[in-house]
Structure 1
C-alpha cells in the first residue's frame, strides 16, 4: 500500500511540481495540495489525514511552526517533513522542537527528497548522515549516570543548551545568561565537542533524544 502525503506550500507552482515528482515514486501518493496550515487543518477535520505532511515554513494565515505544533499536539501519528528555502539554524531548531521529523531545503536534489521520505517511513525521522551518526553514538549514556554527567556537561553549559534549544540568537542567549557573546562562543565550542556535533541543529537533536531539555 502506498504512503499518503499532503503538500502544504503557498507557492502553487512549487506544490504542483513537488506533487508531480512524488507521484512518480512507486511507494507514495499525494492526497492533496493546500496553500497554508489552516487549509490543511480543514482537510484533516474532514478525515482526510495523510501519513506524511510536506510542510513549508513561511505561509500566510498559519505558518509551518504553528502547523507542525498543532499536528504534534493533535495528530502525532502524522509525520512532518519540513521543506523550506530558510536555512537559518533558529528555524530548523524551531521546526524540530515542534515535531518535524526532518528538514530539507528546497534547493535539494530530487533523490534527496526520495531519500528523506523513505527514511521517515522506515526509521521515523530523517537527518543528515553526519547528524544521525552522532545521534546514535550518544543514545547510550553510561549506566547509572545522567546523560549530562556522562557527557561531562557543567551547569553553565546545560543552561546554554537550554537556551540554544529555543529560537533565540546567540546574542540573545548571551543577554539571557548575562555574559559576553565571546563567552557564549566558548560554551558553544565546548558543548559541540562534548556532544560530538558540528552544528546547533545536531546539538538540539542530541539534547532532545537524551532528554537534556524539556519539550
Structure 2
C-alpha cells in the first residue's frame, strides 16, 4: 500500500523590508514540510493574496503599511479565521504583545529569534498551539514579576491633612482657597499636593482624584 504524503504547510510571509523578506523565503524554503504560497510587503498585498490563495500560516510583521499588523490580524480573524497568525517583529513591549494576543494571533516571535524557534513556531501554531519565542516568554515573565512586586509594595496611605486637602480638591477648591479654609499657608498646600502625587504616582489632578475615589476618600 502506497504511503500518503503529508500536506505541506502553506506559508504567507509578509514584511516591508525586502532584504529580510527574501532572507525568510530562502530560509524557510529549505524546510521539507513548508511551502511558500505567497509573499507580501504590505497589508493590502496580504489581503489580496488571502482572497485568492490557500494559506495555512501567515508570518507577518507588526510595523507594516496599509494596514499594519494589528489591523491585518483583525481582518484575518474576521474573514479568514482558520488561518494561523504568527508575528515576527522587533517589538518586545508587553502592551503590544498583549494587544496582539487579544487580536487573535497564535504566536509571537522577535526578529532576534533562532532558526529553530522560527521553524518550531510555525509547526506549533499549525498544530493548534500557542507559541512564544524564549525572548518573548522572558519579557512576559519579567513583566508579571514586576507587577507582582508592585502589588506587594506597602499600600499608599494619606495623612489626615492630606485627606482634608484631597476632599477639598474634589470640590474644585483652589490651593489658595484650601489654605484659607484650613488656616495653613499656600506653600503647605502645594507641598501636600506634591507629596500625594508622588505617593500615588498620579500624573495630574485627575489621576490623584481617581485614586482617592477608588480608596473611598471622596466621591466623584
TM-score, normalised to structure 2, is 0.58
Residue aligning to 1:74: 79
Quick one: distance in 2 between partners of 1:108 and 1:126?
12
**Structure 1 residue corresponding to 2:17, chosen from 11, 26, 42:** 11
- Give how far 1:64 is off: 0.1
Quick one: distance in 2 between partners of 1:76 and 1:31?
18
SS in 2 for 1:32: strand
- Give how far 1:98 is off: 0.9
Q: Which has the higher contact order (CA 8 A, sep 6+)?
A: 1
Quick one: distance in 2 between partners of 1:26 and 1:49?
18
1:49 and 2:59 are equivalent in the alignment: no
Residue aligning to 1:38: 44
Residue aligning to 1:88: 93
- Give how far 1:54 is off: 0.2
1:28 and 2:60 are equivalent in the alignment: no
1:179 and 2:211 are equivalent in the alignment: yes
Residue aligning to 1:142: none
Unaligned residue ranges in structure 2 (runs of 5+):
1-6, 138-200, 216-220
1:104 and 2:109 are equivalent in the alignment: yes
Change (3 A) 1:107 1:128: closer
Residue aligning to 2:124: 119
Quick one: distance in 2 between partners of 1:33 and 1:171?
46
**Kept after mapping to 1: 8 A contact 2:113/2:133:** no
Give deviations 1:128-172, integer Å, cap 9, x for gaps: 5896xxxxxxxxxxxxxxxxxxxxxxxxxxxxxxxxxxxxxx989
Change (3 A) 1:75 1:175: farther
Change (3 A) 1:94 1:2: same
- Give how far 1:80 is off: 0.2
- Give how far 1:90 is off: 1.3
1:65 and 2:97 are equivalent in the alignment: no
- Give how far 1:126 is off: 1.1
What RMSD, in angstroms, separates the aligned Cα atoms of the two structures?
Answer: 2.8
- Give how far 1:17 is off: 0.4
Quick one: distance in 2 between partners of 1:3 and 1:62?
25
